[in-house]
Chain A
């Protein structure tokens, strides 16, 4: 009983430390930006609107002046379809790409109670909080405009989202160690990961729209499974061939486990000695 009490007290302290670090990062950004605390929302919103614009533009051009006509529009409004993809894709992309730049927030390491992992988790929380706010806002807006609210499996949606966050944190921790290497290599990896993620995560397409022979080229990516399952949780009639929840769970758990082992054995790389 005493152990449990101590454990919960330690956990509560740990969570409050991470939240304090998240606030620290937001606060320092807010004083250096003309838009204050909104800074963390504006940048992802720009990217999100840019991608939605591209997708809608292509659809408009391909269908000769109409926004309907694709197979996906049988199941979703095009913006909901894209926003569902963003909800899953963006936290993953942001955490991975930011991690590749190494540990950007370093000054709190001055305090003995702050560990690099706390900073990684705090930055992840900030990203996820901002992106979730945006996607929920966007979806609420579309639902309000079309008056067509649909979420068939909210439990599944929540599970998928949490699995994606777990997977993103695991992937981010693995990549953060690359940040200390040659800048050219990290930039190359960053661009490579960026493009691979964009074109294989199902952000712009649905798996069932792809020809059977081309599916194996994208279904290796667990992010595609997360995106498609998230769309499925909104509308259970949405077809998801070759998509598996168990594959996603295994990938998330293995990635998190591996990243924690990697962190445990290489933590000192993130705490570069200050005396040299």
Chain B
């Protein structure tokens, strides 16, 4: 049952929280489970060399994978990964997708700083009309739609794993809207794009390969600390693409239930 709705003063508490750290070995998890609270208004850039840990963190916060131990508790609505469209079937029309999400995340739409008219106008400018089927859209249009759908809802906590499209020129209008939406909200990003970090994040969290919290503080200090102490912290963003967030969530269209007697 949906018991957590958009909150005025959201917080997130990591309670005995531990994740897998090695893709090839499920037994390897955090050395010391996390026990800390993230207050509202903290926009945190996660800096770590372990790309699987970055993926695990976003996936577990968005509910796609279970943590090894512990849980995240709090009164906050955590959004799906920004720009992600893994939950939308390719056969849906754009209007169907919006209608579905606006019903499920109705409370987040009510608090949005972006109006529905503004949303449709922006989509219309890129040739995305409500009646179009998602699979008919071009790659860029799909990326745009995925990002636009993440931007129109006002979540207490945003998760941003990838920033390639967000930081590109076509996404500029959406980037401005997202900056407006995240004002006063929590944000976790695992992107290694420094320009993005400087524009969107206030704090940095440097993690060791086994989830050790090495540094937590203002973003500039965290980046400097990582540069000095973390070998190869400035990883290319292409590494973010190595793990997809919607691997197992395809729908089955077999009709063998019908006339089978």
Q: Mark A residues whose CB is within 8 Å of B.
A: 10-11, 13-14, 16-17, 19-21, 23-24, 27-29, 31-32, 43, 46-47, 50, 94, 97-98, 101-102, 104-114, 190-191, 194-195, 198, 268, 271-276
Contacts and interface: CB of A to CB of B under 8 A. Distances in A.
Question: Which applies to chain A's interface (DSSP): helix, strand, loop or mixed?
Answer: helix
B96 A107 contact: no
Contacts of B65: 273-275
Given A31-B91, A31-B93, A112 B62 contact: yes
B254 interface: yes
Contacts of B105: 111, 113
B202 to A, nearest CB: 24
Contact of B89 (A24, A50, A114): A24
Contact of A20 (B5, B100, B256): B100
Contact of B249 (A23, A50, A98, A107): A107
Interface in B215-261: 243, 245-261
A105 to B, nearest CB: 5
B2 A110 contact: no
Contacts of A24: 89, 92, 96, 100
Nearest to A271: B66
B64 A110 contact: yes
B2 A194 contact: no
Among A102, A108, A194, find the residue whose CB has the most chain B CB atoms closer than 10 A: A108
A274 B247 contact: yes
A143 to B, nearest CB: 28
Given A94-B257, A101-B254, A111 B104 contact: yes
Given A13-B106, A94-B257, A274-B248, A109 B87 contact: yes
Contacts of B256: 101
Contact of A10 (B1, B63, B100): B1
13 contacts: A13-B5, A16-B103, A24-B100, A28-B92, A43-B259, A106-B251, A106-B252, A112-B62, A273-B248, A274-B59, A274-B247, A275-B20, A275-B55
Q: How large is the interface on B (under 10, 10 to 19, 20 to 34, 35 or more residues)?
A: 35 or more
A198 B1 contact: no
A126 to B, nearest CB: 13
A17 B103 contact: yes
Contacts of A112: 62-63, 78, 80
Given A94-B257, A112-B63, A274-B247, A28 B96 contact: yes
The 5 closest A-B pairs by CB, nearest first: A110-B87, A112-B63, A20-B103, A27-B96, A104-B252
A110 B80 contact: yes
Nearest to B133: A31
A275 B23 contact: yes
B186 interface: no
B87 A107 contact: yes
Contact of A46 (B20, B63, B101, B259): B259
Contact of B66 (A108, A109, A273): A273
A72 B247 CA distance: 54
B104 A274 contact: no
A168 B236 CA distance: 52
Contacts of B80: 110-112
B251 A105 contact: yes
A274 B246 contact: yes
A19 B99 CA distance: 11
Contact of B2 (A14, A27, A105): A14
B104 A47 contact: no
Contact of A113 (B2, B245, B247, B261): B2
B89 A107 contact: yes
Contact of B248 (A17, A106, A191): A106
A153 B14 CA distance: 56
A272 B2 CA distance: 21
Nearest to B258: A43
Interface in B48-80: 55-56, 59, 62-66, 78, 80
A274 B249 contact: yes
Interface in B1-17: 1-3, 5
B24 to A, nearest CB: 11
Contact of A275 (B59, B101, B104, B254): B59
B161 interface: no
Interface string B182-224: 0000000000000000000000000000000000000000000
Contacts of A190: 260
Contacts of A105: 251-252
B47 interface: no
Contact of A107 (B55, B250, B255): B250
